[in-house]
């Protein structure tokens, strides 16, 4: 029995022959006590009628972003906030292309662009269209945005051809959505801590030493924990990124503060240390602004190692302790050394000498070194996708 009771799903139907299957999706969802609101694109109306949809969903069907009636009842932002999840089934090559460029020229694309919810896409099209390099590129972009793609399947098509492009069957689509909600529920019992961004080590009240870390990878990992149902704490150094809602967001300056906040928020089931903690701090901090002189010698001493401290802690060590290793050379050797010396379960390593995957970029290419199994090399992908790959592995490990 499908356990989706009381969930709110926004179903977007695009124009394709498999749009008729979306009626079956609504029927199954309604039987499982799901509240279903529906958006029809202009071309979807050529395949299914608003009347048949509203008869099944017992809800109004939305289709026009410029409809005064719709907007006064529920505007496009409220519609995207209302949903627990957005499902686009079927999604056509055209809408895939629109979403990949962030275009928002109709209600469906506007709602998706404005959404902060989980988005599932079930493509359906002719095999040549699916295999076209532009569709492939667009799908890769959507995956990197964090959208989940279901199917398509191989089979006979309405156009008479055979190949990959058939929309996944309604039951299977709903099963995947159910897995998502079940995982969220299951993960609610887990607590995750993520450290992110650079630390600042002060020389005097207005000057400090820091590094190039943007915090992007750590923020994406924290978001992914949150989206998967974890009770999440993000302890962040000073970054230019916006705070993240829906989790415990703590901003710190120095390594000492980051360490204290991490300790205060333990115990946790998993901790991921992505922060680029400054290795050194100033020995003689000046309380007053240092005046200009001919020479200034700064004496530095080793900073506290947050990860090593916590992973060696007798009582507070999280079950799964994951460190990061930013390397410019000897990646394998240095990562294995950190894995052992810092008593980690996993080390996630990346080469920061390559600017396209380095500190401030939106992409990353990681290798994961495990204490108890063979290491894995992942291909280059967006930091958001790296985050969900990592969090999926954490979920598998904890369960
Ligand atoms: N780390 C930490 N506290 C520190 C230094 C590092 O918690 N004072 C953590 C980082 O968050 C990361 C891991 O340790 O998870 C490795 O950090 P990295 O900067 O790659 O290594 P270092 O230990 O600083 O060693 P080195 O700079 O020599 O590579």
Prior bond to 44 cis, omega within 30?
no
Tell which phi-psi region holds residue 385, choosing left (phi > 0), alpha (psi between -120 and 50) or beta.
alpha
Say how many residues make up the chain: 399
Q: What atom of ligand 1 comes closest to residue 323's alpha carbon?
A: 15
Domain 188-398 in the same topology as domain 8-185: yes
Mutational test site, ligand 1, from 324, 333, 337, max ligand atoms within 8 Å of CB: 324
> 393 alpha carbon to ligand 1 midpoint, in Å?
22
> 328 alpha carbon to ligand 1 midpoint, in Å?
13
> 279 alpha carbon to ligand 1 midpoint, in Å?
7
* CATH class of the 188-398 domain in this structure: alpha beta
Active-site hit among 77, 159, 179, 298:
159
Mutational test site, ligand 1, from 194, 252, 321, 325, max ligand atoms within 8 Å of CB: 325
Cα separation values, 208 from 199, 201, 205, 282, 327, Å: 10, 5, 8, 9, 23
- Count helices and strands in the chain by DSSP H and E runs: 14, 22
Residue 2 is predicted with a pLDDT of 55
> 305 alpha carbon to ligand 1 midpoint, in Å?
7
- CA-nearest residue, atom 9 of ligand 1: 307
CA distance 282 to 199: 13
Residue 259 is predicted with a pLDDT of 98
Per-residue pLDDT of the chain (399 residues; tens, 9 = 90+): 457 999 999 999 999 999 999 999 999 999 999 999 999 999 999 999 999 999 999 999 998 777 766 666 677 888 999 999 999 999 999 999 999 999 999 999 999 999 989 999 999 999 999 999 999 999 999 998 989 999 999 988 888 888 899 999 999 999 999 999 998 999 999 999 999 999 999 999 999 999 999 999 999 999 999 999 999 999 999 999 999 988 999 999 999 999 999 999 999 999 999 999 999 999 999 999 999 999 999 999 999 999 999 999 999 999 999 999 989 899 999 999 999 999 999 999 998 887 777 777 889 999 999 999 999 999 999 999 999 999 999 999 998
Q: What atom of ligand 1 comes closest to residue 279's alpha carbon?
A: 8
Pocket (CB within 6 angstroms of ligand 1): 195, 255, 273, 275-277, 279, 303, 305-307, 323-326, 338
DSSP state of 231: E
Pick the CATH number of 8-185 from 3.40.50.11540, 2.60.40.1260, 3.40.50.1950, 3.30.390.30: 3.40.50.1950
CA distance 122 to 18: 10
Residue 122 is predicted with a pLDDT of 98
- CA-nearest residue, atom 16 of ligand 1: 325
Residue 399 is predicted with a pLDDT of 87
CA distance 205 to 84: 46
Joined tokens for residue 51: 């009347």
Q: What atom of ligand 1 comes closest to residue 275's alpha carbon?
A: 11
**Catalytic site residue 344?**
no
Concatenated DSSP letters for 200-225?
Answer: -EEEETTEEE------HHHHHHHHHH
Domain boundaries, the chain: 8-185, 188-398
Give the model confidence (pLDDT) of 118-135 as tens digits: 999 999 999 999 999 999
Q: Does the predicted TM-score (pTM) go above 0.85?
A: yes
Residue 148 is predicted with a pLDDT of 95
> 276 alpha carbon to ligand 1 midpoint, in Å?
7
Phi, psi of 46, rounded to the nearest 5 degrees: -75, -20
Mutational test site, ligand 1, from 197, 213, 257, 277, max ligand atoms within 8 Å of CB: 277
Indicate the SS3 state at residue 330. coil
> 214 alpha carbon to ligand 1 midpoint, in Å?
15
């Amino acid at each position: 029995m499908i356990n989706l009771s009381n969930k709110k799903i926004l179903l977007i139907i695009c124009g394709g022959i498999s749009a008729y299957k979306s009626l079956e999706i609504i029927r199954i969802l309604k039987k499982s006590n799901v509240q279903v609101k529906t958006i029809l694109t202009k071309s979807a109306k050529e395949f299914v009628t608003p009347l048949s949809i509203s008869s099944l969903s017992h809800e109004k069907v939305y289709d026009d972003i410029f409809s005064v009636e719709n907007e006064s009842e529920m505007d496009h932002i409220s519609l995207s906030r209302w949903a627990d999840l957005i499902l686009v089934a079927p999604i056509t090559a055209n809408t895939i292309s629109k979403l990949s460029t962030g275009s928002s020229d109709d209600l469906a694309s506007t709602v998706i662009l404005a959404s902060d919810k989980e988005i599932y896409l079930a493509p359906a099209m002719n095999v040549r269209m699916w295999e076209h390099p532009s569709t492939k590129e667009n799908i890769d972009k959507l995956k990197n945005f964090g959208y989940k793609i279901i199917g398509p399947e191989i089979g006979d098509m309405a156009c008479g051809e055979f190949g990959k492009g058939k929309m996944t069957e309604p039951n299977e689509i709903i099963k995947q959505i159910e897995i998502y909600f079940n995982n969220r529920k299951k993960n609610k019992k887990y607590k995750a801590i993520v450290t992110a961004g650079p630390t600042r080590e002060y020389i005097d009240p207005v000057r400090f030493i820091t590094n190039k870390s943007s915090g992007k990878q750590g923020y994406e990992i924290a978001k992914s924990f949150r989206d998967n149902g974890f009770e999440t704490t993000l302890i962040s150094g000073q970054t230019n990124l916006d705070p993240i809602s829906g989790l415990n967001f703590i901003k710190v300056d120095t390594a000492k503060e980051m360490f204290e906040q991490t300790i205060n928020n333990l115990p946790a089931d998993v901790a991921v240390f992505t922060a680029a903690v400054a290795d050194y701090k100033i020995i003689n901090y000046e309380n007053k602004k240092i005046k200009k002189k001919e020479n200034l010698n700064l004496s530095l001493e080793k900073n506290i190692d947050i990860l090593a401290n916590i992973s060696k802690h007798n009582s507070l060590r999280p079950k799964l302790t994951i460190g990061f290793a930013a390397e410019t050379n000897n990646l394998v050797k240095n990562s294995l050394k950190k894995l052992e010396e810092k008593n980690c379960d996993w080390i996630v390593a990346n080469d920061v000498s390559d600017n396209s995957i380095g500190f401030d970029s939106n992409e990353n290419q990681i290798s994961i070194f495990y204490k108890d199994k063979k290491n894995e090399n992942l291909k280059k992908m967006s930091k958001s996708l790296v985050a969900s790959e990592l969090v999926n592995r954490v979920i598998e490990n904890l369960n």
